[in-house]
Amino acid sequence: MAVRYSRGRLALIVVALVSLAGFALFTWPSLSELWSRLSTGLSGTGWALLGLAGLVQLAGHVLRAARTKVPIDNVRRGSLAGQFRHLSIGYLFNLVWPLRVGEVVRSYLVAKTLRISFLYTLAAVVLERLIDVVLVSVAFLVCIAVLGGPFSGIVPVAAVVALVVSLLLIAAFAALVRENATLMRLAWRMTAWLNTDLENRARFKLWSVIFGFQRFFRQRRQLVRYGVLALASWACYVAAAALTVVLVFPALSGRQAVIATAAPAGVVSPSLGNGAPGAYVENIRAFVEGSTALSGPAVLLFGAASWVVANVPVLVVAVVALFVNWARRTSDPLAGAELTPSDRYVNKLGRDQDISGSMTHFLDAYFQRQHLSQVMHRLEVDGNVSLVRFFKGGSNAVTLLATNGSGELFVKKMVPPEYAHRLKNQHDWLAERADHRQLVTVLREQHAEDHYAIDIEYRPSSVPLFEYVHENPFAEGAAKLAEVWDYMYSRVYRVGQLEQHPELRDDYVTERFVLRVRAAAESHPALAEALKGERIVVNGRELDNFDRVLRRIQSTESAWTDLATFRPSTHIHGDLTVDNILVDLPTREVLVIDPSDDNQVRGPVIDFARHMQSLAYGYEFLNEDEDPVVLGARDGVPEITYRDARSARYAELADFVTTQVMPRRLSPAEQRSVLFHVGLFYGRMLTHRVAINPGTVLKYYGVCIQALNRFLEQYDLPVDADDDDEVLGAEPRTQEVLTR
């Protein structure tokens, strides 16, 4: 039955054979001369010894393949036969093409066969060759020092230059693997020149190399094995050269024998091609005659025999390997199977599927040397956790989807040690309510010197409420929002009496709002410019700017009193944006995530404000929108223009919550206060936006100003004196918030 090859195999066969035929055609005269010397200069015993030398040389290649296999097995285990097969084909291309093109071909074949990173494989091969240059250079320098005087064509300076260049390249590679800050910043800036897709792919490939070699270099037994195999392979090459010397110069000994044995390595740099047989033999002759008293036809015979030993056996293996794949198939355990999420992401150097698109935010943060991304990278290298998806955070925490390699997917949240208490609060909040089916389950917590983390259950059957309300009728979305509030009031809140809390209000507005906006302006010149005027134009509407609107709020007694008037609760969620609500599709129940109960003001009004942060001003849309924000001026008044992408469905739901839910749950004073708290939340986020995405700062500030002005506009209308029977008398107004 005829053997059928894939298109890739056919292309490889055609290119290899055509290249080999072209090489034979152009070097035919020197090949004929080489054959003539061997046929007339070797006896039967000589041919047998030449064959033995060829087998020893092949043994060295097998050991080299085993050496390459060590770092490659760190990614995905393959067979030694497969590595040897690809090595021999690479040698074929090295022979017929210059500049070691065969090493690229070999790397490509290994990567394609095992479905692993090509760049990692190529880096392993290049590193292998650089180490070869170091070994050969050191060996020649030792020989020069011991035997006295330079060899012909190899002066100490040349050997030193080769050694220094190789060591510098190895050191540069080591610095990259060790995450040198300068190289990382350079990589981040250079990849930023590419379009988004290429940028992400380039960063992912580069990170893969760093990740893979960090894992490899941490395994001492593998490093020792790699070194032993490197020395053993070169011992075979030296032994093959020594057998050739014995074959041609049987009575040679001492200095001349050492020089003749070193000749094959001396005339063929491990970084360059072997060249045509005629040039090779001539280089051998020049090397040996210039360094010893040997001369004449025997030296040319030695050159011819050395070329045959170095090339003919491996070429025979390569030609057979083109047509016959004797490698044991161990690299395709999941062929034809649908990969689970854990299968896709545990092996980051595998190339079963392109996962670079799910790591965009992580890669950007990693190459910018952000602390938590480095922590996550270290955990991945240590094998403790495998990143599946990295999410942008809205606070000092990062959130990611991860797997531990056992098939379990979970959500991991991490913070720097100085913010551990905040995430610890979330852990404890969830742990205390482990029996609430409307809450995610917290699995565990981890304390470390450089971070604190908690793991939370991941429900793949759940969808974000954002998607749910936009893909289902309005009535279903409204029902889910009502369900959220039913849960909060029945299982979470312990609502107290409606009271005034002026001290809490003052501290809250000052610490969480005014000081945050001022701090953000110090590190964001455009924001500082926008803050200067008494008035500001936002999306075409002229409004009171930050200082002016706050002064007016404080001077409006009813408004300032409303902000101090709320029903406290011992527990709230604290961050009840639409982003933090899921819907479990099998049960159709809401699932609340990410509590942040760390506010001075602790009451349901805060959760409603977070809710309206989404519905009234499109928080989720603002986060996804990357359109530029323009800061200009209109008649000397600062002007901010941004794209308001809030959906019609959000507008409907905002109206539903405002008219149907809030009146049943909040007092009139609290209802009016919601807009102020919405503006406060957008303002308090500015310090974080400056750090993670400065381009969105003005947009968040514009929303903040709009919400504050809308809050104040409520008090331009007559207020029924009886609508707040529970509200206590107003305390004296104060300017403390603005001047503190």
| Averaged pLDDT, 622-643 | 88
Q: How confident is the model at residue 331 (pLDDT cuts 50, 70, 90)?
A: very low
Structure tokens at 530: 């926008």
DSSP 639-669: EEE------HHHHHHHHHIIIIIHHHHS-HH
Q: pTM above 0.85? A: no
The model's pLDDT over 280-318, given as tens digits with 9 standing for 90+, comes to 888 888 888 877 778 889 999 999 999 999 999 999 999
Q: Letter for the amino acid at 205?
A: K
Q: How confident is the model at residue 709 (pLDDT cuts 50, 70, 90)?
A: very high
Average pLDDT, the chain: 87
User: Is residue 143 predicted with pLDDT exceeding 80?
Assistant: yes
Q: d(Cα 560, Cα 565) in Å, to the nearest integer?
A: 9
Percent of the chain residues past pLDDT 90, beyond the cut: 63
Q: What are phi and psi of 154, to 5 degrees?
A: -130, 105
DSSP 62-85: HHHHHHHHHHHHTTS---HHHHHH
Contact 552, 593 (CB under 8 A): no
Buried/exposed 352-372: b ≥16 CB within 10 Å, e otherwise: beebbebbbbbbbbbbeebbb
Q: What are phi and psi of 189, to 5 degrees?
A: -70, -40
CA distances (Å), origin 56, targets 37, 102, 239, 469:
22, 22, 7, 72
The model's pLDDT over 403-443, given as tens digits with 9 standing for 90+, comes to 886 778 899 999 999 989 888 989 999 999 999 999 999 99
The gap from C-alpha 382 to its chain's centroid, in whole angstroms, comes to 15
Degrees, nearest 5: CA angle 290-296-297: 130
User: Is residue 268 predicted with pLDDT exceeding 80?
Assistant: no
The model's pLDDT over 36-92, given as tens digits with 9 standing for 90+, comes to 999 999 999 999 999 999 999 999 999 999 999 999 998 889 899 999 999 999 999
The model's pLDDT over 336-366, given as tens digits with 9 standing for 90+, comes to 334 445 455 666 777 766 677 778 888 888 9
Place of tokens 């050694």: 163
Q: For the chain, which domains are there?
A: 7-323 (no CATH), 341-458 (3.30.200.20), 464-739 (3.90.1200)
Identify the DSSP state of 489.
I
Structure tokens at 5: 């090859």
Buried/exposed 252-278: b ≥16 CB within 10 Å, e otherwise: beebbbbbbbbbbbbbbbbbebbbbbb
Compute the radius of gyration of the chain from its Cα atoms: 36
Place of tokens 């606070």: 395
Contact 97, 20 (CB under 8 A): no
User: Is residue 335 predicted with pLDDT exceeding 70?
Assistant: no
Q: How confident is the model at residue 722 (pLDDT cuts 50, 70, 90)?
A: very low
For 103, the 3-state DSSP assignment is: helix
Give the strands of the sheet with 541-544, arranged side by side: 541-544, 535-538, 637-641, 630-634
Identify the DSSP state of 350.
B
- Count the Cβ atoms, other than its own, within 10 Å of residue 520: 25
The model's pLDDT over 563-582, given as tens digits with 9 standing for 90+, comes to 999 999 989 999 999 999 99
Query: Who has greater pLDDT, 627 or 530?
Result: 530
Q: How confident is the model at residue 720 (pLDDT cuts 50, 70, 90)?
A: very low
Q: How confident is the model at residue 152 (pLDDT cuts 50, 70, 90)?
A: low
Query: Who has greater pLDDT, 593 or 1?
Result: 593
| pLDDT for position 339 | 41
Q: How confident is the model at residue 251 (pLDDT cuts 50, 70, 90)?
A: confident
Q: d(Cα 405, Cα 80) in Å, to the nearest integer?
A: 26
Q: d(Cα 709, Cα 674) in Å, to the nearest integer?
A: 12
| pLDDT for position 106 | 96
Cα distance from N-terminal residue to C-terminal residue, the chain: 90
Q: How many residues does the chain have?
A: 740
Q: How confident is the model at residue 271 (pLDDT cuts 50, 70, 90)?
A: very low
- Going by their DSSP bridges, the two strands 386-391 and 541-544 should be labelled as unpaired
CA distances (Å), origin 555, targets 504, 521, 610, 731:
18, 25, 26, 12
Buried/exposed 164-186: b ≥16 CB within 10 Å, e otherwise: eebeeebeebeebbebeeebbee
